[in-house]
Structure 1
Amino acid sequence: MLEKELQSRTPMGVIGILQETGSLPMQYHPHKLSGKFEGLWECHIKSDWLLIWQQNDTELVLIMTDTGTHADLF
């Protein structure tokens, strides 16, 4: 189980969860962004490692836009 948890804390692990379920568990703090990032979603892969993506809620279309720290992205 530990190995699966470690794999899910990588960008590909998080993307895999999104592909399988269309959403992320709350442990990743998924939320919609606003302002110039309106329409995009963000989650925390780790405490200061973020993934930003666009998601169409009517069908599973994921467009990964960026990954990095808060300082890198904002």
Structure 2
Amino acid sequence: MKYEVQYSKEFRKGLKKLKNDKNSLNLVRNIIKKLANNEILESKYKDHKLIGKYAGFRECHIKPDLLLIYKKENNASRGQLPTLILVCIAIGSHSDLF
């Protein structure tokens, strides 16, 4: 099943900083597309669970110092098909996010 993609305000802000970096924007789009299609990311993206402030979220490295923090949710209601949601929380460098 495909995930519906939602973007947080913080993610949109971080994405604006990349507006002049077409290569990074293309990489971000491709990663989000893979995640929305429930594909497993290649090991080079270092996808992993987070702890602490971001417990319950995941992070992947789009580039060595360009990170995407995201969460996959399943909003299932009784008697209805589940709604799968990919929430893009934040994007930026290590120093921007942590």
TM-score (norm 1): 0.78
In the alignment, which residue of structure 1 is the partner of 2:68? 51
Q: CA RMSD in A?
A: 2.5
Q: Using a 3 Å threshold, how does the CA distance of structure 1 residues 54 and 25 change in structure 2: closer, same or farther?
A: same
**Residue matched to 1:38:** 55
What's the counterpart of residue 29 of structure 1? 46
* Aligned-partner SS, 2:32: helix
Tell me: higher relative CO, structure 1 or 2? Use CA pairs within 8 A at least 6 residues apart: 2
Q: Does 1:68 align with 2:84?
A: no
Distance 1:59 1:49 in 2: 29
Percent of pairs identical after alignment? 38
Shift in Å at residue 34 of structure 1?
0.2
Tell me the CA shift for residue 26 of structure 1: 1.2
Q: What is the rounded CA distance, in whole Å, between the counterparts of 1:55 and 1:22 in structure 2?
A: 12
Distance 1:72 1:52, change over 3 A: same
TM-score by length of 2: 0.60
Q: CA deviation at 1:59?
A: 6.6
Contact 1:53 1:64 in 2 (8 A): yes
Deviates more, 1:59-68 or 1:35-44: 59-68
Unaligned runs of 5+ in 1: 1-5
Residues 22 and 60, structure 1, Cα contact 8 Å, conserved in 2:
no
Query: What is the CA–CA distance in structure 2 between the aligned matches of 1:59 and 1:18, rounded to whole Å?
Result: 15
